A = this chain, B = another copy of it.
Amino acid sequence: MAEIGVGMLGYAFMGKAHSNAFKKIAYMTWPPPLEPLLFGIAGRDEQAVEEAARRYGYDYATTDWRDLIADDRIGLFDNVGPNALHAEPTIAAAEAGKHVVCEKPLGRNADESYEIWERVAATGVKHLCAFNYRFVPAVRLAREMIDAGELGEIRHFRGRYLQDWGDDPGLDTWRFHPTEAGSGALGDLGAHVVDLARFLVGEFATITGFTKTFLPGRTVDDAIEAAAEFESGAVGTIEATRLALGRRNAFQWEINGSKGSLAFDMERLNELQVFRADGDRARGFKTVLVSETNHPFWEHWWPPGHIIGWGDTFVHELHHVLRAIADDSDIAPYGATFEDGYRAAEVCDAIVRSGESGTRESLSYRTL
């Protein structure tokens, strides 16, 4: 079986999620496109990164990510570090000829994101910005239904990503530091909403809104609120907050089209709500448990009704990357490329600008 060497930057929350995915790909997606070999893992805390190497089975740990770049056995560089560490290592890896995965948000703003995209695209490697929610089976099913015209013309997208862990004045994490994170709920959660809107509805045309910080002393935003128009003429809202008490990971969205509607909640990620305007007297939203043999990604899993978990979305995502590398096929449209990462950043920046200027922002996107 063909193999690929993997090097990972980062070992905490996302490091666990991605390492687990590479390990499961080897036997859950059988046969895998490429067998991932976990060579090196890098991080700042020597003891912690060494333990991570033992735990996940990496050959070695290092506190210098350049060791991964220098390792010729590594064909895929997976950057799950803090946002401030996205640009330089990712670009370096690509320029060293490695395929690259980078966690979202791609950069801390549109300029940085554009630079990453530009520099990496120039190398010709495969690049994926890890908007993993595109790889939820229910989300992919939604995309397939929309592509097939089952919803008709899309009129509305209303997306909100609600968490509540931010409601802790004593908590400190790199996610609260502007230099490391770039922004707060905006880049962390809002970027997911923006990407999914683009994935399902298409390009943003205008956006008007603002960011909001509630907790005294916090220097990143706690929440964003925006109203948007899409190039297609659809309209909707984009919201994200870390202060919606009782909502743990409630990335909820609803789409209304001229032939039907879809609704989703990440806390019930195995379900898709489907309404069809088909004239059935028994009219209503159907709770589809997305776990059938003819549903996306389900060939890897269990009998129908035996649901998967949040962590399994990374299996699908990284499997997609391995398939693209193995077959020299495209990351797009199902995976988010670095261009997608950059475009999401443009929309996020526009929300910030709108909040500052008080005006509705028209989106324009740079090209290469």
**Contact across chains for B268 and A246 when beta carbons are under 8 A apart:** no
Residues of chain B with a CB closer than 8 A to A276's CB: 282
What 0/1 readout, one digit per residue, does chain A (277-293) give for beta carbons within 8 Å of chain B? Answer: 10001111111110110
* B-chain residues with CB within 8 Å of residue A266 when the two chains form the complex: 305
Looking at A187-195, A224-232, A330-338, the stretch in contact with chain B turns out to be A224-232
Residues of chain B lying within 8 A (CB to CB) of residue A275: 245-246
Q: Is residue A210 within 8 Å, beta carbon to beta carbon, of the partner chain?
A: yes
- Tell whether, in the assembled complex, residue B286 and residue A286 are in contact, meaning their CB atoms are under 8 Å apart: yes
> B residues within 8 A CB of A9?
none
Convert A6-47 into 0s and 1s, putting 1 for each residue whose CB lies closer than 8 angstroms to a CB of B: 000000010011011001100110110000000000000000
The residues of B that contact A16 with a CB separation of less than 8 Å are 302
CA distance A260 to B360 in the complex (A): 32
A292 to B281, CA, bound (A): 8
Closest-CB distance, A10 to chain B (whole angstroms): 15
List, in ascending order, chain B residues with CB within 8 A of A258's CB.
Answer: 167, 243, 245
Distance in angstroms between the alpha carbons of A305 and B13 in the assembled complex? 14
In-complex Cβ contact of A281 among B247, B268, B295, B304 (8 A): B295
Let me know if A27 and B17 touch, CB within 8 A.
no
The answer to the question of A158 belonging to the interface, with a C-beta cut-off of 8 Å to chain B, is yes
| Contact across chains for B285 and A286 when beta carbons are under 8 A apart | yes
A239 close to chain B: CB less than 8 A: yes
Residues of B within 8 A of A19 (CB): 27
Smallest CB separation, A172 vs chain B (Å): 16
A269 interface contact, C-beta 8 A: yes
The smallest beta-carbon distance between A139 and chain B, in angstroms, is: 14
**Chain A 194-229 near chain B by CB (<8 Å), digits 1 or 0:** 000000000000001110101000000001011111
Which stretch of A66-74, A121-129, A248-256 is in the interface?
A: A248-256
B289 adjacent to A287 (CB under 8 Å) = no
List 6 other contacts, CB 8 Å, given A164-B256, A208-B210: A13-B303, A244-B254, A245-B277, A266-B305, A286-B287, A308-B310
4 tightest CB-CB pairs across the interface, nearest first? A248-B305, A246-B275, A249-B305, A309-B309
- B-binding residues in A (CB < 8 A): 13, 16-17, 19-20, 23-24, 27-28, 30-31, 55-57, 141, 145, 155-156, 158, 160, 162-165, 167, 208-210, 212, 214, 223, 225-229, 233, 235-237, 239, 241, 243-250, 254, 256-261, 266-272, 274-277, 281-289, 291-292, 294-295, 301-312, 354, 358-360
